[in-house]
Structure 1
Amino acid sequence: MSKSQSDHYTPRAVGTPDSLEYRLYLESGGSPISIWHDVPLYSDDDKQVLNMVVEIPRWSNAKFEISRNEAFNPIKQDIKDDRARFVRNLFPYKGYIWNYGALPGTWEDPSHVHPDTEHPGDNDPLDALEIGERVAYTGQIKRVKVLGVMALLDEGATDWKIIVIDINDPCASKVNGIADVQQQFPGLLEATRDWFKFYKVPDGKKPNKIALNEEFKDQQ
């Protein structure tokens, strides 16, 4: 088994958590690197395993994201009304129900209208939902394989959600597509669909829409 990709990078936090100044950087060989541009998308020569940057650990509420416009693209807490942003608990869930993060080196082009969703990209890296059993940590680099995708329409933009699993998870060998997820993780896809539809409702917003007839699709 190959060495964990996380062993190549060291997270370094600056500032106080839950503050506007908090930033988490990644270092390699003692020097800072760009989380978005310097971490390779693929973790193997065959391009079957991807690197995922964990922004938000499962069951937590603080909304972290890669900063697209700052040097080295650190992870910061999202800001709303000059306050650090938290996602409200959506009954019966506690915070985020997967390890949530991004695929480095990717970008959803806001000038391109996707023919399947009829909406432009959201100007962010592709989001990844890691469904394995281990709770990750912010800044962790997980080696994952893609299982499928869901197309969220968030405030008029296409916001793809890529379903992945850590290749070292005990269930990884049993899941290779959406049907396998349904069998090995019963209820998770339905919970994922409901979570993204309604997670902004506690803040007074309308439910989100999901493209592709609200269906999950296998990787192509």
Structure 2
Amino acid sequence: MAAAAASPARASWRPAIPATSASRAGSCFPVGAKRFAGVQTRSTCLRRVTRLTAAQVKSGEAEGRPSKEIAAGSTPNEETLWRELETAIQEEDYTRAATLRDELRVLKEDGRSAVLAANTRFYTAFKNGDLVAMHQAWVKGDHVYVVHPAAGRISGYEMVMQSWEMVCDADHEFPLQIDLQDVEVHVRGDVGYVTCLELVRTNGSSSWGKQVATNVFEKVDGKWFMCIHHASHFDE
């Protein structure tokens, strides 16, 4: 898109927050005098994620929806399917192995679509400044965290929501314009993540704020929720 080719700009759609010494020069939070004061960070550990399967998604295709609804508790266990596949191959039961491969492929595609839909729900809430939808997009727990551009990590559901309240309460007009580029979807079991380039601007602005983002999701009771959002200012 033509607007995206403009020189990198400060993102005027986020409130100012304290920057670390390494990121002060690239801060993209110039709006007003708001700060994430009192929103303390603490260390958390993301569960180990292995054997991730990636799917490339073209720009503008980031509003995916699950190909079908999967009832909670009815989703086949991926680890079990992998073990059964390995056993079938060892036993040279290739008919069974082919069936299991098909089941795994369908399971992965459903997972990608569902994670992409959860990613869309998050960005729709962000774009509209919709705090109710933003609360619903995140899983509740102490392990969740957010890293806004030029800021440290904010941990815990309540603190994360406070940070989004400050973003949504900033002095600018919603809805924002958000375009996602270079979108990739990765899923492994009950954990998935999306990487993308965020292009964001307010109505009437001629410049775009650019952030590289990683959004991590986990599946709870058959539904995907965000547990990590990490956005960093991007200079081309």
Normalising by structure 2, we get a TM-score of 0.23
Bigger strand share: 1
Bigger helix share: 2
Normalising by structure 1, we get a TM-score of 0.24
Higher RCO (CA-CA < 8 Å; seq separation 6+): 2
